[in-house]
Structure 1
Amino acid sequence: LMLLFEEIERRFSCHITYSVIQQQPLEKLDGIEPVKGKVIDEIWRIRHRYPLQEKYALSVERMSFHLGERVALIGANGSGKSTLLRLLLGVERPLYGKVKRTGEKCYVPAHPALAPVLDEPTATFSEQKQQLMERLSWKEVACYFDEPTAGLTNRQRSAFIQNMLDHPDQLIVFATHDPDLIFYATRVVYLVQGEIAFDGPTSTFIEQSRLYEWN
């Protein structure tokens, strides 16, 4: 990655500024297991693709999200995680299919540049991301996050996980590559090239997964 940055700087006569946060495996916390409540969001026969793309970015027959669930959306970059979040939030409308949404929601995007104006626009990515997390009220019935722990320190990651555990009655959906965060989900949705490869309890995913290892 560093070599790529150097090549970009050389070719385009520019300067790239970046910050690095060292993240280590977190100590596992005990949390209240939430009880699944009423349906908040539901989708049917979704087929969605972007302009000039032949393949659907997301293809899902039916999926529902309930109060009390902590849902981890996982998969490689481009697998459809962010697309699913945007459709659930109503930021985008599906090319085909239907999305039913209820209740107030909060949303934190993967990059602070996609959020409302921050207090310090010249701050680093990590500082801006922490600003977004500190603004959360956790009062909405549902909270959606795209890579919520990216750029956070270990202490900040632990604080975010504890906040999730402190709100067991809400619907919390997050797209992530952070294995520590996946551990605290009650449900895992694993997307592969826009389709669902797994949708079920986290305990089952951890037991069967060859992608992740937990001690």
Structure 2
Amino acid sequence: MDASLATDFSASLPGWLVDDLDDLAARPLGSIEERIALANELADRNWRAGNGGPFAALVVDRASGALVSVGVNVVLATDLSAMHAEMMALSLAQRRLGRWDLGAEGADLELVVNWRPCVMCYGATMWAGVRALTIAGEGVEVEELTGFDEGPMPDDWIGEFERRGIRVSVGVGHGDAIEVFRAFGASDAVVYNARAGAAAARDASAGDH
């Protein structure tokens, strides 16, 4: 271990996604169906590329459908456990707009994810200032099919969002999301839960990159 204390960290989108950003920005995203379809597509591409889990997120202007930012899970690529897709998408939107509150100046931005946020991303979404959350599904399927630990969510998690002015939509693209998780679970991809094979996950990651 290096004796000096770390003073900064960074996380970037994977190269394959950076190369596609111009095309993604031009893609029609006027409907919920189109937005969720893109999130499912990127989630599937991401785990197959070895960057992290099968998760992707978009920040979209609800009125125009303009893509503000996109994120995928890059935990394995960065060795940073907080770098979930939602954290990447929200942070990149904040960086692009130059403000921590994505709801400032009357903005009506929507976070689109291929499944319900984990307990960490639940809080991050709540404080980011987005005005809507759209997800393909929620429930135990993601844990059962992938082995990831999503954390202890409140029973009334939708109500907690809506009491804070964040509208929640669930269910569009559900079948496609499940197929992404099913494919991941049937593979030998790394499941990086802390305290559950962490050493094995690191060894597998080192061998793949």
The structure number with the bigger radius of gyration is 1
TM-score for the superposition, normalised by structure 1: 0.28
Higher strand proportion: 1
Structure having the higher helix fraction is 2
Q: TM-score, normalised by structure 2?
A: 0.29
